[in-house]
């Protein structure tokens, strides 16, 4: 039930994604009266409905298929998988239903007023709500948290009004398994979705405008992934642009501009995954004091406050990195700030994970950033070929590296490529965030045989010699 027109809600959260719903929950846990407004039927935002969760569900299936195929080298041979796309879709949608249903129940249990409507500010104390049936209502508030997220970028050249040209939401619907799929963009979303379709049987071509996949990520981490993707995908074209798309009955013809790349190629579907834009327009922000900055992100300070004293902003709409866990932390900060706590978003390590196979994960300072900042750091690497656990898995292409301050030996960053890197990086986050020094990391007992030992052995290497690698001392 929503507050009536004359009532003033203590807090209204606009957007029910991984920024918005944790903010609403934390506020209710602090005893605040909270409304949570989202135009979607289900809570959970992009992450649960058309982002993190459905993509990881499908990536799990993709990994299963790939591992079954690769087991042939150990003498275990399975037949080619038969893919029942309807059941696969049902599984994926079932996971979404369970998780969004859970958020709905938790929201009810906390007495949060869930309002399904599109919101736009009328002034710094009032939101105009448009319900799905077209009726409107004004909702007055003392504080508002803007958590409207982001949407896929779709430049005009890709808008050819043909359903075969999809964004990530369309690709996650899995309308079919196209014979030939063009993925525009070699960022994490393009590579994750490309991996899913390739495992299911599509011939995937990836086109990336920059000189390498995953621009900005340390090259030594990208290398082992690139090697596997070269085998999985039909083609990867870097330094290549899509100049145009044209719809024909027999497919979409893409005009590609890149050295040595066939200019006109036909695909059955195209996935455009070239980035995301903050949802900061059509929100009536001009009727408030909220200011927009670079690329349309809402400007916030370290306490998530906007330039309007009544309005805070969190999540994708409040800036990079556009990741669910960063949104969740900002939600906690915002509520602590509203309830008088001394909180700031002062995290040093926002982990990032590319959920391909192998996964890539990093946190804290990267080598690329250290170079750009001209900061003196030491980097130690532990190759997974020396890890007993990696050998048992037959996945020795991985690498763990630790970046540390040569003076204080404080751990500044951790980067990992390898199977399960996304789980392993949490130790790096703890190390960076709690100012662990190399000696501590080396002295902590890590369970054997696990991939986590590669973090410990990287630290050992930093101290001189790791048990399972030998490097002759320089005289
Ligand atoms: P969102 O999740 O975008 O939620 C915003 C909500 O606000 C939406 O429900 C929207 O309907 C609502 N809304 C917007 N405007 C209005 C309005 N005017 N009125 C009412 N409601 C409104 N991140 C990770 O950390 N890990 C991953 O593995 C990962 N994988 C991803 C895979 C894909 C394919 C995609 C697309 C994204 C992925 N992300 C991942 C990114 C992640 O989904 C976002 O960072 C996260 O959802 C941002 O949360 P948010 O709360 O800021 O906004």
pLDDT per position as a tens digit, 380-431: 999 999 999 999 999 999 999 999 999 999 999 999 999 999 999 999 999 9
Instruction: Check if the beta carbon of residue 23 is closer than 8 Å to that of residue 43.
Output: no
The proportion of the chain whose per-residue pLDDT surpasses 90, expressed as a percent, equals 96
Instruction: Check if the beta carbon of residue 286 is closer than 8 Å to that of residue 299.
Output: no
Q: Is 418 in the pocket of ligand 1 (CB under 6 A)?
A: no
Please give the model's pTM, rounded to 2 decimal places: 0.96
Q: Is the pLDDT of residue 98 over 80?
A: yes
The proportion of the chain whose per-residue pLDDT surpasses 70, expressed as a percent, equals 98
Kind and range of the H or E run holding 66: helix 52-70
Q: Is 468 one of the annotated active-site residues of the chain?
A: no
* Mean of pLDDT values over 222-250: 97
**Catalytic residue of the set 113, 446, 448, 468:** 448
Q: Across 63-212, where does the E strand assignment appear?
A: 113-116, 118-123, 126-130, 136-146, 150-152, 165-166, 180-184, 203-207
**Cα-to-centroid distance, 141 and ligand 1 (Å):** 24
Half-sphere exposure of 324 (CA within 13 A, CB side): 16
What mean pLDDT, rounded, does the chain reach?
96
Instruction: Check if the beta carbon of residue 291 is closer than 8 Å to that of residue 299.
Output: yes
Q: Three-class SS of residue 379?
A: strand
For residue 3, name the pLDDT band (cuts at 50, 70, 90): very low
Q: Is the pLDDT of residue 471 over 90?
A: no
How far apart, in whole angstroms, are the C-alpha atoms of residue 342 and residue 365?
26
What would the two tokens of residue 292 be?
């927009």
Instruction: Select from 12, 15, 319 the residue to mutate for testing ligand 1; criterion: most ligand atoms less than 8 Å from CB.
Output: 15
pLDDT tens figures, 107-153: 999 999 999 999 999 999 999 999 999 999 999 999 999 999 999 99
Q: What is the pLDDT of residue 1?
A: 38
- Cα distances (Å, whole numbers) of residue 27 to 24, 101, 109: 5, 20, 13
For residue 6, name the pLDDT band (cuts at 50, 70, 90): low
Cα Dmax for the chain: 80
CA-wise closest residue to 16 among 50, 42, 55: 42
Q: Is 190 in the pocket of ligand 1 (CB under 6 A)?
A: no
DSSP one-letter code for 75 = T
Instruction: Check if the beta carbon of residue 3 is closer than 8 Å to that of residue 32.
Output: no
**Cα-to-centroid distance, 100 and ligand 1 (Å):** 13
How far apart, in whole angstroms, are the C-alpha atoms of residue 320 and residue 412?
20
DSSP one-letter code for 296 = G
**Cα-to-centroid distance, 52 and ligand 1 (Å):** 9
Q: Is 35 in the pocket of ligand 1 (CB under 6 A)?
A: no
**Ligand 1 atom closest to Cα of 323?**
45
**Cα-to-centroid distance, 19 and ligand 1 (Å):** 8
What would the two tokens of residue 229 be?
């993707």
How far apart, in whole angstroms, are the C-alpha atoms of residue 398 and residue 224?
7
Instruction: Check if the beta carbon of residue 453 is closer than 8 Å to that of residue 469.
Output: no
What would the two tokens of residue 293 be?
């900055």
Q: Is 167 in the pocket of ligand 1 (CB under 6 A)?
A: no
Q: Is 170 in the pocket of ligand 1 (CB under 6 A)?
A: no
232 contacts: CB under 8 Å, gap ≥ 6: 66, 195, 198, 199, 204
pLDDT tens figures, 362-371: 999 999 999 9
Q: What is the pLDDT of residue 475?
A: 65
For residue 2, name the pLDDT band (cuts at 50, 70, 90): very low
**What domains appear along the chain, each with residue ranges and CATH number?**
9-152+278-338 (3.50.50.60), 156-274 (3.50.50.60), 352-463 (3.30.390.30)
**Ligand 1 atom closest to Cα of 15?**
7
How far apart, in whole angstroms, are the C-alpha atoms of residue 455 and residue 136?
55
- Cα distances (Å, whole numbers) of residue 457 to 5, 65, 229, 393: 62, 32, 28, 19
**Ligand 1 atom closest to Cα of 318?**
52
Closest residue by Cα to atom 1, ligand 1, is 149
Instruction: Select from 47, 131, 153, 274 the residue to mutate for testing ligand 1; criterion: most ligand atoms less than 8 Å from CB.
Output: 47
pLDDT tens figures, 45-91: 999 999 999 999 999 999 999 999 999 999 999 999 999 999 999 99
């Amino acid at each position: 039930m929503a507050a009536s027109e004359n009532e003033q809600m203590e807090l209204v959260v606009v957007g029910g994604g991984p920024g918005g719903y944790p903010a609403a929950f934390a506020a209710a846990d602090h005893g605040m009266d909270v409304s949570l407004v989202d135009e979607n039927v289900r809570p959970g935002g992009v992450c649960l409905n058309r982002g993190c969760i459905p993509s990881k569900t499908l990536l799990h299936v993709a990994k299963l298929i790939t591992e079954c195929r690769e087991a042939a080298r150990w003498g275990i041979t399975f037949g080619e998988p038969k893919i029942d796309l309807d059941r696969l879709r049902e599984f994926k949608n079932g996971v979404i239903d369970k998780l969004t249903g859970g958020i709905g129940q938790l929201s009810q249990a906390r007495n949060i007023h869930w309002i399904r409507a599109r919101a736009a500010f009328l002034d710094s104390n009032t939101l105009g709500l448009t319900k799905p049936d077209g009726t409107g209502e004004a909702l007055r508030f003392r504080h508002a948290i803007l958590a409207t997220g982001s949407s896929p970028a779709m430049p005009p050249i890709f808008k050819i009004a043909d359903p075969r040209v999809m964004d990530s939401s369309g690709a996650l619907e899995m309308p079919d398994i196209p014979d030939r799929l063009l993925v525009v963009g070699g960022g994490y979303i393009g590579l994750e979705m490309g991996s899913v379709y390739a495992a299911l049987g599509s011939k995937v071509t990836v086109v990336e405008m920059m000189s390498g996949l995953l621009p900005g990520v340390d090259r030594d981490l990208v290398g082992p992934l690139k090697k596997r993707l070269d085998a999985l995908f039909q083609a990867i074209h870097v330094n290549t642009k899509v100049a145009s798309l044209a719809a024909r009955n027999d497919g979409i013809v893409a005009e590609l501009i890149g050295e040595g790349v066939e200019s006109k190629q036909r695909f059955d579907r195209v996935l455009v995954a070239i980035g995301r834009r903050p949802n900061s327009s059509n929100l009536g922000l001009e009727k408030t004091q909220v200011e927009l900055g670079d690329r349309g992100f809402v400007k916030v300070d370290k306490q998530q406050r906007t330039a309007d004293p009544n309005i805070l902003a969190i999540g994708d709409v409040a800036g990079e990195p556009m990741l669910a866990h960063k949104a969740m932390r900002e939600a906690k900060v915002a509520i602590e700030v509203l309830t008088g706590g001394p909180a700031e978003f002062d995290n040093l390590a926002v982990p990032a994970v590319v959920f391909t196979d192998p996964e890539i994960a990093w946190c804290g300072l990267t080598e690329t950033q250290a170079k750009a900042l001209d900061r003196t750091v030491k980097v130690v690497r532990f190759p997974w070929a020396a890890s007993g656990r990696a050998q048992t898995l037959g996945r020795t292409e991985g690498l763990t590296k630790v970046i540390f301050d040569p003076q204080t030996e404080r751990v500044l960053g951790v980067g990992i490529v390898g199977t399960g890197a996304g789980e392993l990086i949490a130790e790096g986050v703890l190390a960076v965030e709690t100012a662990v020094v190399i000696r501590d990391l080396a002295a902590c007992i890590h369970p054997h045989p696990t991939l986590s030992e590669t973090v410990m052995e990287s630290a050992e290497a930093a101290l001189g010699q790791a048990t399972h690698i030998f490097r002759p001392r320089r005289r």
